[in-house]
Structure 1
Amino acid sequence: MSGSLFPVSLLDNDFYKFTMQNAVVKHFPYAKARYKFINRGGHSFPKGFDQALKKAIKEMRQLKLDDQERAYLEENCPYLDPTYLDFLKGYRYDPSEVSVIQRGDDLEVTIEGLWYRTILWEVPLMAIISEFYYKMQALRRFADEDIIRITREKILGYEAIDVSVAEFGTRRRHSYQVHKLVVKTLKEEGKRSFIGSSNLHLAHLFNTKPIGTHAHEWFMFHGAKYGFKMANQLALENWTNVYRGDLGIALSDTYTTRFFFQSFDKKFAKLFDGVRHDSGDPIAFAKATIKHYERFKIDPTSKTIVFSDALDPKKVIDIADFCRSRIGMSFGIGTNFTNDVGLPLMNIVIKMTEALPEHEIWTPVVKLSDIREKYTGDPKMIELARSFLHL
């Protein structure tokens, strides 16, 4: 199914997976994690899908960081120290960490192993599942020239309203080819608005900035190790202990934004460059964020909100109209860039489900976003967390 080696690079992954991996290596080298594929959209997978996926997973063990890629990281990511880059140079995917089972048209994928190793699987696996889903059913997408035109129209529209836009679409892209076309077009046409890509390989390929900090799993693990009440505070503290002020956009909604702001005290509010919005009403979030900064006598226009929740041009315009002159803003746009090809979108995720901190026991992890539809985790643990945090 995959033909040549697929994915094409070890760096064909979201940047925050590498920044988190570096932090995990330093803080939690003995921790283990489990992840699970969640088919939110109830998609039916064609016969033989599991075999195609297993073949691609097996091929991934050949991927390795090459000298050019390392040089790019050294030049563009000085906060990734030589020790980590040496580690990444020797890193290889281990297919035995992934289990794939197909029963009829239902697909089960699980991942288990040391957290610093398994952390890299989620994004490329989702990208492969998405690409194979469309290919194996021979679903015809728009022609390349149409994708280029659509992408050009979008980025020129964003330039017209003077906003900064990053591409965040690796996980549920239609295909690598479409993703590559999109980033190339954004780079060529978005001279003022396009600020970079979350995909480290494509950022390198098109000489643009890699964008990203951390994801929900960073906070979810801290909840399993330290308890829900201490999770946000210790996750932020451990992050700053590694990056010392770099990579300063904090993800806010792992245990709801309301609870996050209880931990995001004056120290963190001053140290971090801003926060990322990933669920709930973006305008309500912006209002709460502005109010939080003003409480500490911090000028909100000196800070940035990165909006990244299912954005399209209309949503971006509405958010920009509210935020302009009130608070800094940028936008991370995913599938609206990389899967706007005339086909139904997939609704799939891979999430950490359990963590095993050193010398402890397997503990279910949860995510309590600002909307219930994005809750993930064991239902009993979700209710325990909600009760414990008075949510």
Structure 2
Amino acid sequence: MLLINKLNNFSIISSLLDNDFYKFTMQNAVIKLFPSAKAKYEFINRGKHSFPKDFDEILKENLKKMAYLKLSNEEKNYLKKYCPYLDSSYLDYLNKYQYNPKEVNICQKGKNIRMNIEGLWSRTILWEVPLMAIISELYYKLTGAKRISDKKIIILTKEKLKKYKKLKVKIGEYGTRRRYSYQVHKLVLKILIEEGYPFFMGSSNVHLSHIFSIKPIGTQGHEWIMFHAAKYGFNKADRIAMENWLNIYRGNLGIALSDTYTSSVFFKNFNKKLSDTFKGVRHDSGDPISFAQETIKHYKNFQINPIKKKIIFSDNLDPCKVASISSFCKKKINPFFGIGTNFTNDVGLPSMNIVIKMVKAIPENKWISVVKLSNVEEKSTGKKKMIFFAKKILHL
């Protein structure tokens, strides 16, 4: 009971910017292009984790506190300086934005948690990442699992950094959503910034990037393309989503996400103009070496030199995987590695396997189920009937 009372008085999310950068870039695009669109998201417990008693009530208490978060003048000035492609109209919107806990429905039956988020897409888009960070931190606190010490975390992070430096690879930190805790996240990022030069390129967490006065990194997530499928159809979704992104950001944030409807479908949509204009692509599922081969072949077919393009890998990376991928990419294409859980939740405990995904959208006047067809079956999301339909349409 003492722990529960303590957690009810403790705010895990203390800043509106404690979120992944791509949530803000997508929110800006949604406000401009789809201001009346609605979305529904669901929590998926991939790891079949057992949640302790009253977990839902403690989670709700944390959400209530988020309603009081506001963008500070200092934070707004930081975004103006470090993210000039976010225009003043969007920053004014964000300045007035407040989380509404009524958009989130949570219930617990036994050891299972059910949760969905519903409302205007432009508003609900910010919930996913901080919600997952809260769930993760509360889970470890309430289950009483003992992590390794800060001293060991520092040593471990420095050892990984030493390996990445030896490989001479460019790395970024993408670990907000499944971090062990805010405190561990901040500690790891401090080490990466202090000792990672010139190979550490930044963090996707905007709040921590602000604290350490560095530029946040990231572009777009799967939901951007999933919504476009609901509005324009599965065959055109990748292409129109990329074209809309270019119209908003005019070449900035120019990394295309490749696996919403499998990479084979993506490359069919990634035409000469888009391949020329986007600075590179992001891999998030399936065999990374096969994807790199496919990407290089795609660029060469359009007479584009792959060495002038970036390929970002962000799927469950560790030093061993990075070494293998970077060895293959050497002198062929420019790799970049977005490392998440292995940085922010490598504390001697099993990491959580949880996601929150868009499941429905209202592009115009009715709810439409949305799906993600990853390069691997276990990362696909959506209703079975709609997955079957999408595969049939896309000839998968």
Q: Are 2:199 and 1:193 equivalent residues in the alignment?
A: yes
Q: Give 1:169's match in structure 2, choosing from 166, 170, 175.
A: 175
Aligned residue for 2:277?
271
Q: Give 2:389's match in structure 1, choosing from 384, 387, 390.
A: 384
Q: Give 1:308's match in structure 2, choosing from 310, 314, 319.
A: 314
Aligned residue for 2:374?
369
Q: What CA distance in whole angstroms lies between the structure 1 residues aligned with 2:160 and 2:9?
A: 32
Query: Normalized against structure 1, the TM-score is what?
Result: 0.99
* Structure 1, unaligned runs of 5 or more: none
Aligned residue for 1:50?
56
1:239 Cα deviation (Å)?
0.5
RMSD over aligned Cα, in angstroms? 0.7
Aligned residue for 1:338?
344
Q: What CA distance in whole angstroms lies between the structure 1 residues aligned with 2:76 and 2:245?
A: 23
Aligned residue for 1:118?
124
Q: What CA distance in whole angstroms lies between the structure 1 residues aligned with 2:146 and 2:10?
A: 21
Q: Are 2:229 and 1:231 equivalent residues in the alignment?
A: no
Q: What CA distance in whole angstroms lies between the structure 1 residues aligned with 2:377 and 2:11?
A: 39
Aligned residue for 2:106?
100
Deviations 1:156-186 (A, max 9, x none): 2101110000000001100001000010010
Q: Are 2:304 and 1:298 equivalent residues in the alignment?
A: yes
Residues 346-361 of structure 1 aligned to structure 2 (within 5 Å): 346-358=352-364, 360-361=365-366
CA contact (8 A) 1:155 1:193 kept: no
Q: What CA distance in whole angstroms lies between the structure 2 residues aligned with 1:6 and 1:259?
A: 39
Q: What CA distance in whole angstroms lies between the structure 2 residues aligned with 1:376 and 1:6?
A: 28
CA contact (8 A) 1:131 1:175 kept: yes
Deviations 1:331-376 (A, max 9, x none): 0000000000000111100000000112x21000000011111110
Which letter maps to 2:316? A
1:305 Cα deviation (Å)?
0.3
Aligned residue for 1:178?
184
Aligned residue for 1:159?
165
Aligned residue for 1:146?
152
* Structure 2, unaligned runs of 5 or more: 1-6
Q: What CA distance in whole angstroms lies between the structure 2 residues aligned with 1:25 and 1:182?
A: 34
1:30 Cα deviation (Å)?
0.2
CA contact (8 A) 2:83 2:215 kept: no
Deviations 1:17-67 (A, max 9, x none): 000000000000000000000001110000010111000000000111101
Which letter maps to 2:290? A
Identity, in percent, stands at: 61
CA contact (8 A) 1:6 1:59 kept: no
CA contact (8 A) 1:156 1:189 kept: no
CA contact (8 A) 1:168 1:197 kept: yes
SS at match of 1:149: helix
Residues 199-210 of structure 1 aligned to structure 2 (within 5 Å): 199-210=205-216
Q: What CA distance in whole angstroms lies between the structure 2 residues aligned with 1:107 and 1:372?
A: 23
Which letter maps to 1:341? V
Q: Are 2:110 and 1:71 equivalent residues in the alignment?
A: no
Residues 71-90 of structure 1 aligned to structure 2 (within 5 Å): 71-90=77-96
Q: What CA distance in whole angstroms lies between the structure 1 residues aligned with 2:208 and 2:335?
A: 23
Q: Give 1:211's match in structure 2, choosing from 200, 213, 217.
A: 217
SS at match of 1:7: coil
1:2 Cα deviation (Å)?
4.5
Which letter maps to 2:175? G
1:192 Cα deviation (Å)?
1.4
Q: Give 1:240's match in structure 2, choosing from 234, 237, 246.
A: 246
CA contact (8 A) 1:35 1:354 kept: yes
